[in-house]
Structure 1
Amino acid sequence: MFWSTPIVQLLSVCVSVIAGATLFILRMRAGKKPTTLKKIIMPPLGMATGFMMFVVPITHIPWLWGVSAFGTGLLLFAFPLIVTTRLERVQTDIYVRRSKAFIVIIIALFAIRLAMHQAVEEYMSIPQTGAIFYLLAFGMIVPWRLAMVGEYLRLQRA
């Protein structure tokens, strides 16, 4: 099967590493400019378009797997991001301020994801693995961004 060839598996890991590094760089730069409600809400909305992958049958997974992946992101991986992300008012602007632990947490979450990716690929195809980790990431980003929205609105009112 094409999806289980070593080249495709290596390419899958390389794309994950590049995406993780890009996310890391973008998150670090975000703290240098004021944030807006739009900047907080847009990433999960943009990411939601990824649900279109489930139109393609090769990405189909059992519902229980999908709910479990989403729940893992929601209950386990979102918490460290929420705890280490703070918004701060500076005059009329609101900035995203992250603790020094944020960098360590992002790298640890990425390493865990890569380690899990290898284990999961043994039981399903690469497109299905991508679907599982998409749901895990979506389950992680939604509560994180909702917490940021709540804090942003609180600071805006103050």
Structure 2
Amino acid sequence: MDWMVAASSVAAVFMGIGALIVRMRAARKPTSAKKIIMPPLFMSTGALMFLFPAFRVTGLELLEATAVGMIFSLLLIKTSNFEIRHESIYLKRSKAFPIILLSLLIIRILGKLVLSTTIDIGELGGMFFILAFAMIVPWRIAMYRQYTKLKRQLPNKTTAAAQLKTPLT
């Protein structure tokens, strides 16, 4: 089973690097509510793993993973901010975000190495899914709330267009 822990840790490193690259590229283009909401929705399909007994966790493990995920989400929330540029909303680049993301990845890998000696690999996989989901959902909710606040500050394009078409009398 040691090779499974090592393989999943290597996969986690590549996924973390991928997430970092995607996040850096996302800051170059305007964001939308859809771009904020879709990742947790897509990730939620991973909960199908719990149909298989090997991935099921106890109530205590569920609470522990959820609590740790929500604590980790606070770091992501603090480093995710938006700004208005060129009448669009952009994700602000944060110098701390890559450091925090890599730190969370290292903590995750170390946690997996320690916990894999006492918890079955399937249960551990379920716990880390719950941790990740409990981290991304509050983070994306906070991002969405911040996005909608900024969106209200943008000039309403449909109102402006209607005003332009209205004949002056």
Query: Shorter chain as normaliser: what TM range?
Result: over 0.9
TM-score by length of 2: 0.87
Q: Which amino acid aligns with 2:135?
A: M
Which runs of structure 2 are paired with 1:1-158 in the superposition (5 Å)? 4=1, 6-74=2-70, 76-158=71-153
Residue 157 (structure 1) shift: 0.4
Cα distance between partner residues in 2 of 1:46 and 1:114: 23
- Identify unmatched segments of 5+ residues in structure 1: none
Q: Deviations over 1:123-148 (max 9, x none)?
A: 12222111111111111111110011
Cα RMSD (Å)? 1.0
Residue 67 (structure 1) shift: 1.8
Cα distance between partner residues in 2 of 1:109 and 1:147: 19
Cα distance between partner residues in 1 of 2:109 and 2:57: 20
Cα distance between partner residues in 1 of 2:140 and 2:4: 32
Cα distance between partner residues in 2 of 1:93 and 1:140: 27
SS at structure 2 position matched to 1:95: strand
Q: 4+ residue stretches of structure 1 with deviation over 3 A?
A: none
Cα distance between partner residues in 1 of 2:40 and 2:85: 26
Which structure's residues are more often strand, by fraction? 1
SS at structure 2 position matched to 1:89: strand
Cα distance between partner residues in 2 of 1:8 and 1:111: 17
Residue 72 (structure 1) shift: 1.3
Aligned length: 153
* Paired residues of 2:5 and 2:112 also in contact (CA < 8 A): no
- Identify unmatched segments of 5+ residues in structure 2: 154-169
Cα distance between partner residues in 2 of 1:11 and 1:25: 21
Q: Which amino acid aligns with 2:12?
A: S
TM-score by length of 1: 0.93
Residue 9 (structure 1) shift: 2.4
Residues 19-28 or 29-38, more deviating = 19-28
